[in-house]
Amino acid sequence: MYLKGKAYYLIIGFFCCFPCDVSGQDQKLSDSLAKVYHENRLAGTEKLQLLRDLSFNEVNDVELSLKYAEELITLSSLQENNEFLSSGYLRQGNAHRLLGNLEQALSSFYKGAEIALEAEKPATQGAIFIAIADVYSIMGNPVNSKNYYGKSIELFRQIKDSIPLASALTNAGDEYFNSSNYDSALIYFDEAGIIFKKVNYLNGTAYNLGNIGMVYAEQGKHALAEQRINEAIVILEELEDYYPISVYLTYMADIYTKQLDFNTAFGYLERSLHLAQKYGLKDQISDTNLKLSELYEVKGDQVSAYKHYRAHIAYRDSVKNIEAVQQMADQRTNYEVSQKQIEVDLLDQRRKNQRNIAIGTAIALFLIGLMAIGLLRRNKFIRKTKQIIEEERDRSDRLLLNILPEETAEELKNNGMVKAKKYDAATILFTDFKGFTNYSEKLSPEALVETVGFYFSKFDAIMEKYGLEKIKTIGDAYMCAGGLNDNEKDHAYRMVLAALEIVAFVEETKNDVTASELTFDIRIGINTGPVVAGVVGTTKFAYDIWGDAVNVASRMESMSEPGRINISENTYALIKEDADCEYRGEIEVKNRGKLKMYFVQGLKNSIPI
């Protein structure tokens, strides 16, 4: 489901910002407090309180919220006030998280938690535990995430702090949501909803309604899902809390997409993208563009699909976008204007008092030099902006090449679509690990991915070495092909070389005492024949091949033996002059009848091509 990942986590992540009272984020309050801040009349604890409230309630401008938090940290340190210092690090971490700077967010949160513990502020410590868990959720680390949610729930139950407890329950329910344990997720959400309603906490009520709506959507209860999410959006619009509105609108699009009502889905997505662009919500700009790309592809509009896909990639991978650079340039311009005004004031003073002529002249010269430096820096920012645009375009092109072969990627960029292509002769290889399914049931998700990645990373390097094309992986199966998008005719020989190297690598790994205990035997099957290749898919660009030759290659793999390379009669005819092969005879194959098969023993000529 589209919002089970990053975008959904960020909705839940708003709860980690809750203070220890029962009030929620309020942009209108932030706007009024900003007037007090600019009057600059407060000092001491009152100034710290003002900065904390400003950073918390500033919803529309995350960079401004970060500025308030950093000023709070500086003043709290000078006043040695650990209560506000820990709050400052919490606010700073929240701002970094919303900006996509996850490592900086964790660093801020851990500092804040340590200071809150020393200051004996359990409510602040619990809020930071929720924030840490949220970041681990975004990173895809459910073990650490659940651990910190559990700590926060236990802490808030002890001190009987209702709103933060409901927040922790909500985010813990999110972990069950993402593991598709929807009944357990509803248990957490229902308990949190009761608390929010009891204290009349509108923000929490809105998020809770939206979360329950998303659970209903996953369960296929679309009418209930739409009802809950619309109720959430109504409340959030009144609160001017636009980030979750954008995410919930995208989820509404998912609901209508499932119902094949694409026009309504487009409407929700366009509204979500408009909000995200208006308020600079980079994650939502990225996610909404990806969803629009998927829908345009279903509609058959490849040009629009590719345009939105590129926008998705650019926003997803940028750490600090072009707007941040331009904002810095604008700040420099404002600074120059203010310095110019100072110069004018000093010149007026010089006319009133002749004693200050020399001082005024010196200051004027200094300010002119400062303005010149500022202009140089502004030009530097402009050049940097252009450089970033070029880098993002190059990054997008490189990412596209990781998905599609170079020739296919160029065709897609130039024409907005890719025509299917037939190859009269291509060589296809399949691999499979013996006993992998039984091993995988005993492994943690992290160990499973690490083990598969260890082998497949080496396989990828071998494919690149011999000029072959990786097609895809399915579980522990690896599929590649030769003879696509090149003019070489020796693809069968190169594929056999690659297969021999794979077998040697797997065998070396088994005999390496320093390697993981989770080693396997591998079966390999190869066949040569005609195929059709092209780009397919309704949810993302995917390059694949089809044809009877592919099916026969799969049968060669399933009829092979551990540590052996089983090839078809077609492949044997192409490599028999270069490789020693053992004839296995005609073997009965399901739905295929009897096929001649051969085991590759080794090379007659070991000189590489």
415-603, CATH topology level: Alpha-Beta Plaits (3.30.70)
For 278, the token pair is: 């208006």
Distance separating alpha carbons of residues 495 and 517, to the nearest angstrom: 29
Q: Is domain 6-202 annotated with CATH 3.90.1150.10?
A: no
Give the SS3 label for residue 442. coil
pLDDT at 413: 63
Residue 236 pLDDT greater than 80, yes or no = yes
pTM for the model stands at 0.40
Residue whose structure tokens are 């909500």: 170
Residue 215 pLDDT greater than 80, yes or no = yes
Domain 6-202 matches domain 415-603 at the CATH topology level: no
pLDDT digits (tens, 9 = 90+) for 307-350: 888 888 877 765 344 343 334 333 333 333 334 344 444 455 55
Cα distances (angstroms) measured from residue 131 to each of 57, 77, 124, 170, 490: 16, 22, 11, 13, 57
- For residue 163, the tally of other CB atoms under 10 A from its CB is 25
Identify whether the C-beta of residue 276 lies closer than 8 Å to the C-beta of residue 285.
yes
pLDDT digits (tens, 9 = 90+) for 573-601: 999 999 999 999 999 998 889 999 999 99
Q: What is the mean pLDDT of the chain?
A: 80
Give the SS3 label for residue 539. coil
Cβ neighbours of residue 431 closer than 8 Å, sequence gap 6 or more: 459, 477, 478, 502, 522, 523, 524, 557
pLDDT at 26: 66
Distance separating alpha carbons of residues 559 and 586, to the nearest angstrom: 12
**Helical H runs in 99-241?**
102-118, 122-139, 142-159, 162-178, 182-198, 202-218, 222-239
Under the banding of pLDDT at 50, 70 and 90, the label for residue 302 is: confident
pLDDT digits (tens, 9 = 90+) for 524-547: 999 999 999 888 765 566 788 999
Q: Which residues of 307-343 are buried (b: 16+ CB within 10 A; e: fewer)?
A: bbbbbbbbbbebeebeebbeeebeebeeebeeeeeeb
pLDDT at 326: 37
Cβ neighbours of residue 567 closer than 8 Å, sequence gap 6 or more: 496, 525, 526, 527, 556, 575, 581, 597, 598, 599, 600
72 or 410: which leads in pLDDT: 72
pLDDT at 318: 55
- For residue 590, the tally of other CB atoms under 10 A from its CB is 8
Residue 491 pLDDT greater than 90, yes or no = yes
Each domain of the chain, given as residue ranges in start order, spans: 6-202, 322-403, 415-603
pLDDT at 438: 78
Distance separating alpha carbons of residues 590 and 17, to the nearest angstrom: 60
Under the banding of pLDDT at 50, 70 and 90, the label for residue 363 is: confident
Distance separating alpha carbons of residues 267 and 88, to the nearest angstrom: 40
Under the banding of pLDDT at 50, 70 and 90, the label for residue 253 is: confident
pLDDT at 563: 93
Distance separating alpha carbons of residues 437 and 154, to the nearest angstrom: 38
